[in-house]
Structure 1
Amino acid sequence: MSPRRNSTSSRRDPSTARRDSRKKVRRDPGILGISSLLPRSRRSRAKAHARRPNMANPVDDNTRPAALPVTKTCVYKSIGKTRIPLDVYVPGSASTTSNPTNPPPPSTPPPSPHQHHPVMLFIHGGGWLGSNRSDYCRPLFHQFLHLGFVVVSMDYRLRPETSLDGQLSDVADVEGWLRTRLAVELEDVRVHVDASQLVVVGASAGAHLALLTPKLWTVAPKAILSMYGPTNLHHLPYLHRFAANPGSTLPCTADVLAAATTYENPPTDIPVPKSAKDRVRPRQIMAMNVFQRGLVAEFLLQGLVRLDDGTLSLPEPGCVSKEEVDAISPLHLCTLIPYPPVYQVMGAADDTFDTSHVHSFHDALLAQGVPAEKALVPNAKHAFDSAAVVEGEIHRSVVVPAVAWVARFVGL
């Protein structure tokens, strides 16, 4: 007889037995029990159009460009001993990093002492289980700053050590900080913000979280920009993204999972893999196995499970209900609650989430009367913009039109 499994989600302590999958699924208060949004008027339908910049090579450079300087780092939330930070960037930023291969990008216009700047919140990707707030497309931040936005990039607690409920609560709680504390934090640099003019941008898994803000927030953002994010968590086939990764054939054993996780100190910041050695670390092996085995929805909702012998294992296929998956699928949610305008960008050759995520969600938004736009980038794979440079082809052809479209909804 195989060992019995116990979920490590915060719904149950890791040492307790996992719920019987044959029983009726209990409602998840962090997902299904969030209060509905305040009523607000629908905006007019926008014409759908797929922008197709001509790019034979969608990546401008094979190394990450110099970062923009952070104006301030603040803690927006504390849970026990865990402090969750965010970085704030104000207009006028330019990279101060000396790098002959990647010279600093040009400065953005300085803030006006009389202007109240709109705010862009960025939610990083990383498969819901990795990366951090410094993992962003440089031209994306530069363009928002150029238009006069104050940019905020947040960390959040990562799966599987933190439940999806906890991760979503971080995304929910940052709203209150942005609307009440950001202005106070920027008083010493004499930058004024209009926190009622908020847009949200996310990349990959962060785009999925961004697309949940209409449900999670008390007041939805003015617009959302989704960079290659999934919208239908029922449809996540493995597209062989990790085929060339040296760790893709390594087994995901109990020892690997134990080495990959730190339940005693739930992480909010995992470094971005930079070398071949990084890509065979236990956490990367865990991530690859989740995607390769088609267990993304199960991993998000259940986390890892602990067997009776105390060892960890990936969740079983099909261990979550349709209702649970619907509750975290923007494609389903947009038929139930009002959504703000949404602009989606995805590579036409995305090897993590297929392009049906963009097309189906775009059509569903238009059917609800929500302004929507989509842009498919020819030949581009997942996270094609990660090495993009300011004033490069991706900046001009992809970032500029996307940011301009979103900025319309805060009056820019």
Structure 2
Amino acid sequence: MNVNFSAARPWLLLACFALGISALLAILLVLSRAPHVQEWFGLQSLFHTILVLHVNFAVLVWLLSFIGFIWVYHLTALHSSLNLLALALCSVGALLMLISPLFGDVMPIMSNYVPVINSSIFFLGLCLFVLAISILGGFVIREHDWGVMKASAMMWFVALFVFSIHFMVLEKSGSVTFFERLFWGAGHVLQFVYILILWLVWRWPNTTLLISQSRIVLVIVLFALGFMVFLNPEGIASRQAYTLLMQGGMFLLLLPMLWWWTREVKSNRLLDKTINVSIASSAFLILLGVIIGLLIRDDSVIVTAHYHATNAAITVAFMGLVYRFIPYYSLKSISNKWQSIQLYLYALGMVFYVLGMAGSGLLGVPRKTAMMVDDSLERISMGIMGLGGALSILATLLFMGFIFYAFTGKYRVTDQEKLRN
């Protein structure tokens, strides 16, 4: 397998840049909840706008750009000009999304999976970004045999197809309800793209799928398309169906992943300490997310805790893979000790954050608000969440510092075979 080693490098940097932006936006979110600070800087009125951007850069832009990096790395037939076109579209799209609040009186819409800013600039940026990922996905499907790569690209296009059909069927409006219904089905399908790539990262560089996983993927695709055809996206049945599909599909995909990880740990095959730390942290956060998901009863911040745990599990695994690439892209190096410290700090911070948020959710704190709390138990939960948020933000900034240090100045592209062994 020949890899596009040099062509993938800018995608890695773009993904890391998006993660850094999300960390800075997270700091603004924390300040918008802090007593007095929100009044001093006028952040309370901007809370939802900042939250929309944070979610999109911490999830959509960061994860899909990183997936773009993995796809390009494994492609052999991708022409350099098309790669540059996709990279430019992705970068410009992300930039337009980021600066969209600066133009006109915009309204943030807190839809699930893809919250949006009701601005033509934001929507243009989002469309360009999606187009860029689709260009890469098309090459992956055309070039690769069946495996994680092709399955993830196929799932991406299934999500786009579900979105397109729902867009045509739904009555257009600028309401939260419209965007909630628009992104609900596609957003659930998109989670399988992330999980499939997480499986690849855990077993890097193995791109095969287990027979059971292949069957599960095909069943998920059939059900997703079936729901799209036979269920009205405006009805409660469609909403419940996609939720059950994600819950059941995730469980069936994650089960062999966790089984594989326990076998690797017992056999001591994960000899690279940094990789071991990132995968162990990822596995623990996945389990935490599943447990919290079972506690969901209403639309409180416990829902947010659930998907923060899942997103953090993917993020910490991706961070571990980035560290693996640094010696081959850069003349500089980051010590294994500092890599492990950063990964542990991020995982610990996210565990505190998720547990604190789950506690707040069990006490009934609503989602997507900048409201202050009065109950002492709520304050304790919010305090734990605040501590976890601070640790995870610090860890992300530390990660960005390492990336900035490693990727500034001269870089090398040597010993490519080592990454595939």
Asked if TM exceeds 0.5, the reply is: no
Select the structure that is richer in helix: 2
**TM-score under structure 2 length normalisation:** 0.28
